[in-house]
Structure 1
Amino acid sequence: MNYVLKNIPVRTEKPRTTGFTMAMDKGLSLREVSDLIETAGDFVDIVKLGWATSYVTKQLDEKLRLYKQANIPVYFGGTLFEAFVIRDQFDDYRKVLEKYELSFAEVSDGSIVLDHKKKCEYIKTLAQDVTVLSEVGSKDAAKIIPPYKWIEQMRKELDAGAWKVIGEAREGGNVGLFRDSGEVRQGLVEEILTQIPEDKIIWEAPQKAQQVWFIKLIGSNVNLGNIAPNEIIPLETIRLGLRGDTFDHFLEK
């Protein structure tokens, strides 16, 4: 850091498994990727190319190369996995991962109806070749999944070989873990944490208020995802108690 401040929360260091920040790339240009790496690369643990944006991204190879040179892993959003599966092209999806030399993959069922046993089979198969992140929750705001079902699915997906499970919120933060207003489903989150270890969960939390809520509940080293590139540094200051939202919280500790 640029100077010394006492009583700053201790952050884990890269490569880390807790205090994880997943950045959402929804179509950054090569120049924007370079700028992100230069300004905030130290705080980015992994990048998701949102939903199926990789399908239409120009100079995809070059973009992946830039992230790789910065030692930042990249994976394609789970919607792309679903797009292949619904078209009975799972083997083709595996070839895509191999073609682009990706070491991570996301398995989700937020946009399609997928038997959970079959989802776990996909996780188990992919985990032989890559590190799997599995997403739990629906992208349909009208579909409310009870807490016991979240817990059951998370546990089974971890058992199937997922490295971590992701709590669904979309890039807007208004489904899954959150109400359409963006308010956290507090009871859901707290019940999940009674059964699933916090270090095994990445909470999608694109809105500042959501990030603050999780940091106050779990601490500076909570795993957070779907963070906009221009919010990476602001998030790090929230983690460190250097923004008004968490300023007193960490001083009290």
Structure 2
Amino acid sequence: MPGPDFLTLPPRRVKPRTTGLTHVIDPGAGPAAVADVLAGGAAHADIWKVGWGTAYVDAALEEKVALLHRHDLLLCLGGTLLEIAWAQGKAVECLAWARDTGFDLVEVSRGTVAMTLAEKAALIARATRSLTVVAEVGSKAPGEQHAGRTWPAECLADLDAGASLVVTEGRQSGTVGTYDDQGRVRPDVVEAVVAAVGVDRVIFEAPRASQQAWFVRRFGPEVNLGNVAPTDLMSVETLRLGLRSDTADLSGAVRAEPHADTA
């Protein structure tokens, strides 16, 4: 059944799209819970990241991979698992397993283990042999705020090494990297990254509604948003379309006069 079409809303690209991406972080949800989310929201999700190391311990992973692919989502392996594999000298094995399991993308990060920029670039280059790479930039450590001017160099190096997109760190808490410890956006970081690589090549991790709304107001409905909770999928789409007060634009609205009661 087609949806309603009586409102004037911002144009929105349909899948498969290259901008306006919604990148979901899955904390280990079971297939039934994922199916419930996708029943109404599959059209609004583009990348589904299996977070942390949950893919390694999920007995129902094969079923979930098949379900996500049926709904035309790209499946992404979280960066923490690859970092740990790299630290144990098992990065090649991890990447081969991810490809054979059905992952389409892999996140390459350096927020859990000590890794130089050169080592990260080499890992990105290796990962691109079998998977599409999204590269995460920024510190996961609470209170450790890298100045905005330091972010562009790593973003550019990651793209030069073969990453397709860069991801600005926000974690599930939304209080690190791109944000201060109160969850407020750091505009200097955002503007520095966008100036360096362009807004279309960045996924902004934005787990909180206030953060999602900030990015939609700043860059419009086709901004790429990441670390969206599965249960917030349709909520984010309403922010993109101006169907929540946080992003509603009623400047051109025409208010109808109530009809007089002639009864």
Deviation at 1:6, TM superposition (A): 4.4
Q: Equivalent residue for 2:230?
A: 229
Q: Equivalent residue for 2:139?
A: 138
Deviation at 1:251, TM superposition (A): 4.9
Deviation at 1:249, TM superposition (A): 6.8
CA distance in 2, matches of 1:251, 1:54: 47
CA distance in 1, matches of 2:120, 2:72: 29
Q: Equivalent residue for 1:220?
A: 221
Q: CA RMSD in A?
A: 1.5
Which has more radius of gyration?
Answer: 2
What 5-or-longer segments of structure 2 have no aligned partner?
Answer: 254-263
Q: Do structure 1's residue 115 and structure 2's residue 109 form an aligned pair?
A: no
Deviation at 1:123, TM superposition (A): 0.7
Deviation at 1:4, TM superposition (A): 2.1
Deviation at 1:143, TM superposition (A): 2.0
Gap change, CA 1:79 and 1:250, over 3 Å in 2: farther
Taking structure 1 as the reference length, what is the TM-score of the superposition? 0.95
Does the CA-based 8 Å contact 2:65-2:102 persist in structure 1? no
**Which structure 2 residues correspond to residues 19-34 of structure 1 after superposition, within 5 A?**
19-34=20-35
Gap change, CA 1:206 and 1:60, over 3 Å in 2: same
Show CA shifts across 1:177-225 (max 9, x none).
Answer: 0011111111221222222210000000000000000000000000000
Taking structure 2 as the reference length, what is the TM-score of the superposition? 0.92
CA distance in 1, matches of 2:207, 2:143: 20
Show CA shifts across 1:102-130 (max 9, x none).
Answer: 22111000111101011011111111221
> Structure 1 counterpart of 2:143, which letter?
A
What 5-or-longer segments of structure 1 have no aligned partner?
Answer: none
Gap change, CA 1:215 and 1:230, over 3 Å in 2: same
Does the CA-based 8 Å contact 2:143-2:181 persist in structure 1? no
Q: Do structure 1's residue 95 and structure 2's residue 100 form an aligned pair?
A: no
CA distance in 2, matches of 1:50, 1:250: 40
Q: Segments of 4+ in structure 1 off by > 3 A?
A: 249-252
How many percent identity over aligned positions? 35
Does the CA-based 8 Å contact 1:216-1:249 persist in structure 2? no
Q: How many residues align?
A: 252
Q: Do structure 1's residue 193 and structure 2's residue 224 form an aligned pair?
A: no
- 2:154 alignment partner, SS class: helix
Deviates more, 1:137-146 or 1:230-239: 137-146
